[in-house]
Structure 1
């Protein structure tokens, strides 16, 4: 369990009121002794600056790009704020409020400074100290405020918390505590607000004011709260108490600060170390330790800020990795590698050799590391960089206009072996796709536009077989959608009321926790192959009592899914191992083993998954067996019809039509050499796309009479009248005859069979298939009855033999 390793450092002689980390991991603290003290990251005092008033808050101007800011603002009890440089020189003194200026904060781009005071006013200033506006005038002092991601400010007055957009007078407000609200913080990554007050509680809210968590009442008032930059944790300060909490509210650890009340808390930009200003004047430093990551048999734990311990559970051995030069910032393990970042370097270990890592310097500290099979991604304060495991070679640097890394996290970035997906900070409905090798926008599909704000996204990691790179998103309505990134397509909604979702690490399985149910999709790609089979591939399990509300998925590997409850404990659930094994067989072309597995387990999701994978791989024999096992007579007959087609283009077109892609099917037929015009026209007639069928016939000046004849038959059968002016006009000028239509059709089919080197079969009166098109037999109405009665054991030919493919399966030994 993650915890804080706390130390105290004393230099101030009076109450320490505020702390703030600078861009170079230097800490600034202010006190009632009118001193501004600069500290090193280890707690050593570096310099002092004397003011003529007591400091109440410090705000360091954000660094823009690669340039490091050297300017910070200090609010004081005399109603002024000061603009000061890093060496302690005062650049400007600005009279801001009547009474004390309580707090100052910069916008994320450093273009404006906000200040709040005892006069109840919140003001906006330019970075040179000129007043821009006074958007808020409250009746009570504003003790705390926080700036949101999109020009919004959250502030507290008396017992209420308000959220207002700059320039709008109307604010959304709600009663937050039974006492005066003393502290509030708003995280731009998870869009959650945490507040604390004199009622001795801290609470977590969403941006709309809905309460997500409420703590128990403690012995003393809550004096400070602060989110980590990545939104994973927040710290709570009170009298002799420093508490680290998960984003959902539950407490990870409690440390006895021993320095009186913690009046202010500040986190470093990498979110691994905090500083607190205490009532006795001591500065409290806390480092996140005991962070643990697991992968296969390896358990990696950060025991101290500079020591990582690797436990190999397969042979019960330990490896100690000592980082004496710098403290550890981030680490990640997976895909046979361990990546550890410090404040200045990056270490890449192989799980087979812990002695000789690749080490390279990083221009900026990497605060987030994401792994994939071939590369890993590191996020710095101003850039995203993709590295190779061998030597830490820089592969690419995805970038776009408006990229803001401070609002990105592991839930808004996803890395796959060939593509990286990034949520646009300016438009939360837009997901940008980049090629890993070049860092450029992905060819063909550069963006995916969702209809609602995206709160979570993830790419599947599979690279085997005829893969399709897929992206899942969970939006603000808690709906789970899946998209293709290989080709432009509309997304498909899989589930509603989804709390968490995760891809399997090796196969195409997708798991989600929704409304107390654990849902597992064996093969989500099936939505683009045969959507009718999707329900057959979904298994569900009631886990509501185990996972509770608002769970998160920690990992999904092999046949085990690990979820974390909203109150902290880990819960393990098991899923079927068969879909992952089946995918492994089919993706590598081992269809015999896949069929034996399906025959052995006799599981409907496995047969449906097998049918979809076979259709996608154009393996019609396996598809025939799978549809027969599923007792889907209509699909079985259609597969048998496809197998009897003479040309490869016709076969591919019908498979595309089976996948509900009629445009692709038509294009395949028209691009054949020579074009299969009759089949393209007949395809549109079968789909009742009469306008398109007539358009093709007129364009190619052939089979116009065919379209008119089938149209006349359709209207007669359904007892309708012609209302289309195009058909009315052609009916007056074009005469058709069924004998001539049949002759033209037979001629084209004969030429198609001749090109394929096959004799044209005779048409059976009672069959919709050509005799001989299925091998050496034909299907009649009697055969269809036989199919329905014997699907579970295998369809039979009239002579008693099995349908092709079943003989192969019958000869296989059972697993």
Structure 2
């Protein structure tokens, strides 16, 4: 994965460009020390000067009013917020006319940002003050007063908190009264740039010494790197939250969300003062000190599934190949490719206008349907359906392009990330954005289980946890009434529940787990722990610690920093090592365990018993014992528990059989 810069032409600004911001996927606004507001159209490769501001207006930042699904705010969507060195912020319309100028700070107004929910304005200045304003420019509160300049600030994704810098410190200040303020020493030098990820709630910061650090909101350091020789002057997360880009003197670097650099660009443009992503996350614009506004897009993203691999080799071109037959093809699309998903015998490609579903057996005859907004952030695939996240809205489609469900989710959910959603063959799970301790599980219509398209309360199961849920995963096999869900909370506890269980209870399966994934072929759950990969073949009985025969642990000390599981198929786990490079494939040694699970799922008890007798493996007998007892196969359970030397269970089963026989004789 790397950035490709469009050809750089003669600069249109007469001085340094200080700020850029996207209006849509084609229009970009820039402003600089020449007092000009310029609009760029990437479709026609034209630019025009919208306005020339007064000589005393030197911009420090530019932010367009956020595009949100709120008709009540529609009248304000054509306004631009500009901060300036004279301590003011200005509300400007798209024609360049200044509607309002507000005196905000003594000294320069270094930060001026609309809130993500379009309900307020955040400013920070050289005078050390951080203030909240209404959208009309009325002061609501002075959040911070300090004798130290605040160089950078940012809104939280839910608009309920702000993040600001104070020399070497990062500070999270909730806007609710009497809420706890979080402050920590983040860098050894002055912090110049910050960004708050709307998808996974991570924070990235850059300092004067060129260090870049990634944090969570609990002050834990995720990653640090000395990326630049010169100060890190700008940072910006992609709208999808899976990447961020950082700028410095004559350099741009692209990083994955865990901080590892994917690629870097050496430029000849001076310092990069501002970087901004397009709404679809496929392009970025950078404001440069020599008067250039440069544009770049991402290429060479690679996706793999079984024997298929596909690579985005251009903005509108994907190369796909079957490595077993060496058959390959090049797929061209009419618009820029936004998201790609490969799996379950299908390739799904979302552009800014349409979604294309290719069968891997016939690449050139895709199913096509139109998108509402074209801002697709996530595509999830399952065996029977696919889910698209478009501006926070969830839509589930069949592979024939038919809309199956559009669950109604909570407001302010534009930041819905991949970790907070999971798709099964007949269910969809989503963490409630407004209350992240709550998980909604929606039933989906399938060929064997028909429900209405509307997602009323009868088709929604709510799972409540006592702390924040960070990620979740639905099992991929079995009937809907046995569908299981695994959760990871912010303490890294792994919890499992059966969705349709009337006595639904979240049971702690393990602790200190970093990543989880279900096998696509059986009820095998795989998790990553420190220097180990752990497989749980049976998750429903975790109250007896002596029964560990259904847990398989594979030592592994080469998983890198902050690893995550991409998929589990054919007994092989594909693990992203977190080093911005490769995905490693590790055999779990669970082929026979999965065979037993498949036999039991198909009610083939004699075949499962014969396999265990042949291989004489304790893990197989343990799985068979637990599941036979659950399914009331007492004879098989008795033999299996005897093989794993759990004689207390053998005596209990014999007692149950005697009771059953006595009842039968009576």
Give me the whole-angstrom Cα distance separating, in 2, the residues matched to 1:211 and 1:642: 54
1:160 alignment counterpart:
169
2:509 alignment counterpart:
494
Render the CA deviation track for 1:29-76: whole Å, top value 9, x for unaligned: 111111111122458234322222222211111222175632221112
TM-score, structure 2 as length reference:
0.92
Give me the whole-angstrom Cα distance separating, in 1, the residues matched to 2:259 and 2:61: 26
Aligned match of 2:267 in 247, 257, 261? 257
Aligned match of 1:113 in 110, 121, 137? 121
Render the CA deviation track for 1:454-499: whole Å, top value 9, x for unaligned: 11111111136x9621111111111111111112422111111111
Give me the whole-angstrom Cα distance separating, in 1, the residues matched to 2:368 and 2:70: 22
Q: Point out the more displaced range, 174-183 or 379-388.
A: 174-183
Measure how far apart 1:333 and its partner are: 1.1
Measure how far apart 1:532 and its partner are: 6.4
Q: Tell me whether 1:192 sits opposite 2:207 in the alignment.
A: no
2:36 alignment counterpart:
35
Aligned match of 1:605 in 615, 619, 635? 619
Aligned match of 1:593 in 598, 607, 627? 607
Which protein shows a greater Rg? 1
Structure having the larger proportion of residues in strand: 2
1:287 alignment counterpart:
297
Q: Point out the more displaced range, 489-498 or 634-643.
A: 634-643
Shift of the 463–39 alpha-carbon distance from structure 1 to 2, 3 Å rule, reads farther
Give me the whole-angstrom Cα distance separating, in 2, the residues matched to 1:159 and 1:296: 47
| Cα pair 2:25 2:278 within 8 Å, conserved | no
1:326 alignment counterpart:
335
Measure how far apart 1:107 and its partner are: 1.2
2:68 alignment counterpart:
64
| Cα pair 1:306 1:328 within 8 Å, conserved | yes
2:573 alignment counterpart:
561
Render the CA deviation track for 1:394-425: whole Å, top value 9, x for unaligned: 1111013x333322111001111222111111
Render the CA deviation track for 1:358-393: whole Å, top value 9, x for unaligned: 111111122211111111111111521111111x11
Structure having the larger proportion of residues in helix: 1
Gaps of 5+ in 1: 648-748, 754-758, 761-815
**SS of equivalent residue, structure 2 residue 597:** helix
Q: Tell me whether 1:97 sits opposite 2:99 in the alignment.
A: no
Aligned match of 1:83 in 82, 91, 94? 91
Aligned match of 1:458 in 473, 479, 490? 473
Measure how far apart 1:183 and its partner are: 0.9
Give me the whole-angstrom Cα distance separating, in 2, the residues matched to 1:167 and 1:633: 58
1:393 alignment counterpart:
402
Give me the whole-angstrom Cα distance separating, in 1, the residues matched to 2:290 and 2:44: 16
| Cα pair 1:385 1:398 within 8 Å, conserved | yes
Give me the whole-angstrom Cα distance separating, in 1, the residues matched to 2:541 and 2:311: 39
Measure how far apart 1:122 and its partner are: 1.7
Aligned match of 1:51 in 50, 53, 61? 53
Gaps of 5+ in 2: 446-452
Q: Tell me whether 1:579 sits opposite 2:593 in the alignment.
A: yes
Render the CA deviation track for 1:543-583: whole Å, top value 9, x for unaligned: 1x211442211221112112222333433321121111112
C-alpha RMSD of the superposition:
2.3
Counterparts in 2 of 1:20-419, with a 5 A limit?
20-23=21-24, 25-42=26-43, 44-49=45-50, 50-52=52-54, 53-65=57-69, 69-150=77-158, 151-166=160-175, 171-216=181-226, 218-323=228-333, 325-365=334-374, 366-390=376-400, 392-400=401-409, 402-419=410-427
Give me the whole-angstrom Cα distance separating, in 2, the residues matched to 1:174 and 1:414: 33
| Cα pair 2:275 2:285 within 8 Å, conserved | yes
Q: Tell me whether 1:6 sits opposite 2:5 in the alignment.
A: yes
**SS of equivalent residue, structure 1 residue 626:** helix
Give me the whole-angstrom Cα distance separating, in 2, the residues matched to 1:41 and 1:126: 33
Shift of the 264–95 alpha-carbon distance from structure 1 to 2, 3 Å rule, reads same
Measure how far apart 1:14 and its partner are: 1.1
| Cα pair 2:164 2:172 within 8 Å, conserved | yes
Q: Tell me whether 1:510 sits opposite 2:525 in the alignment.
A: yes
Shift of the 439–297 alpha-carbon distance from structure 1 to 2, 3 Å rule, reads farther
Q: Which has the higher contact order (CA 8 A, sep 6+)?
A: 2
Shift of the 217–575 alpha-carbon distance from structure 1 to 2, 3 Å rule, reads closer
| Cα pair 1:135 1:167 within 8 Å, conserved | no
| Cα pair 1:432 1:441 within 8 Å, conserved | no
Give me the whole-angstrom Cα distance separating, in 1, the residues matched to 2:392 and 2:536: 37
Give me the whole-angstrom Cα distance separating, in 2, the residues matched to 1:280 and 1:444: 58
Q: Point out the more displaced range, 40-49 or 347-356.
A: 40-49
**SS of equivalent residue, structure 1 residue 535:** coil
Give me the whole-angstrom Cα distance separating, in 1, the residues matched to 2:614 and 2:275: 60
**SS of equivalent residue, structure 1 residue 446:** strand
**SS of equivalent residue, structure 1 residue 598:** helix
Render the CA deviation track for 1:199-219: whole Å, top value 9, x for unaligned: 121222222333332212632
Measure how far apart 1:302 and its partner are: 0.9
